[in-house]
Amino acid sequence: MSKLLIGGEWMDGESTQSLTDKFTGAVYGEMAVASAAQVEAAVTGAVAGQGTSKLAPYDRFKILSTAARILESRSNRLVDLMRVEAGFTRADGENEVRRCVQTLELSAEEAKRLVGEMVPMEAAQGVKNRVGFTIRGPRGVVCAITPFNSPLNTVAHKVGPALAGGNSVVIKPSEFTPLTAVELCKVLIEAGLPANLVALVHGDGSIIGPQLLADQRIAFYAFTGSTRVGREIQRAAGLRGTQLELGSIASTIVCHDADIDLAIPKIVNAGFRKAGQVCTSVQRLYVDRKIADEFIPKFVAAARAMKFGDPGDPSTVIGPMITVQHAQRASSWIAEAVSGGAEILTGGYCERGLLEPTVLYRVTDKMKVVCEEIFAPVVSIAVFDQLDEAIARANAQPFGLSVGVFTSNLHDAFSAARALRFGGIHINEASSARVDVMPFGGVKDSGFGREGPAYAIREMTEERLVTIAY
């Protein structure tokens, strides 16, 4: 059973909620649901913990480094947990653990090198015998609100930099994946983190979220989720800091001079891994008409070869979606597209939470599978005649998180990078290309702020100016 972590103590909630295996539907555990009083106590404990913390930067480095090693040693346990909790295949689970280890390591390093900068005071006319510099200090309490599709690494991307910067953290993980967050908190405490520097509350986001937003003692909100909820967080946060990684309709463009054999494996993986439940999963695939007759059959064959089913089977590549309802909703969008003239080139089969990897063709920009975030293993192909056309279609949406472009032409690569309005533009990679060291975030309705420990830690700390006259 998941527990709450409040004021440095593990405790039961006011009620419990059953947790079910995403493939079998069998109950595997319970989630402790926090009461309003417990949520308030969690923030109170985090405020007190941050106010009394004596951890030096090197202490934070040691704790986060040790946590990375402990987490790495528990890979098999965590992979098994994420299989039932999130429906992850073994490959997806192992990748999640591997990336989380790196995120903790990167956060640890940033704890040691968080510095300000010198200010050239005497560059101003009439100023002499005066020096200036900036330092960075913690904001206070950081609230991390995290999604189900990356229940370990996304939590680490928020918690790691927050702790490295000297903050305390209140974590509200997805109610679909609470136990993975519990394990991460246990690892941090075992690594030496004072337990009152991290709090963990579980429950329905629509109930707990507003309470956390209303609590003015929280200084910063780090959120990954829908644009709708992101807008609510931003309105409620007011002058307090936010880092919002929101919705996305990710595109990937394949030009006529692309290396097809390089592109297809990357795009297939990006479109269907984690059952397409990744904010940067390829949803729109634009293919140059000159190579469409060669590219599309090869892409379809690669998609058809991806085994979907039981995530416990080592040969399975695509496991179940997070709920049956999510799969049924995506299936209904496919049916709607077909009724509007789209063609299923492969896939379309849906049973319980499993949705077969699906490739659609002859789609229009007004179909839901194209103009709304499907968050499912569904890729829609459209052909284009000129690169400018593909860029314009990719840009013509409210979101701007990530995009991929495959080309061997340097001029086209740089031109596309200039013209595409996305937070990340990846040349000869699919839209989901990510290394945890890089800045990650969006523009437009995909939010603002950046993950990546070196970038996040600066947002989670305050810059303070110090001047000295002598």
Q: Which residues are catalytic?
A: 245, 279
Task: List, as one string, the DSSP characters of 401-445.
Answer: SEEEEE-S-HHHHHHHHHH--SSEEEETS-TT---TTS-B--EET
Q: Residue count of the chain, please give it.
A: 470
Four-point Cα dihedral 10, 16, 20, 25, nearest 10 = 160
Sorted by sequence, the CB contacts under 8 Å of residue 399 that are 6+ apart come out as: 227, 246, 247, 248, 249, 373, 442, 444, 445, 446
Residue 20 sits at φ, ψ, to 5 deg, of -120, 145
Residues 207, 406 contacting (CB under 8 angstroms) = no
- Greatest distance between any 2 Cα atoms in the chain: 78
282 - beta bridge partners? 250
Burial class (CB in 10 A: 0-12, 13-18, 19+), 84: buried
Per-residue DSSP letter, 148: S
* Other beta carbons within 10 Å of 393: 17
Instruction: Read off the amino acid at residue 381.
Output: I
Q: How far apart are CA 126 and CA 147, in angstroms?
A: 54
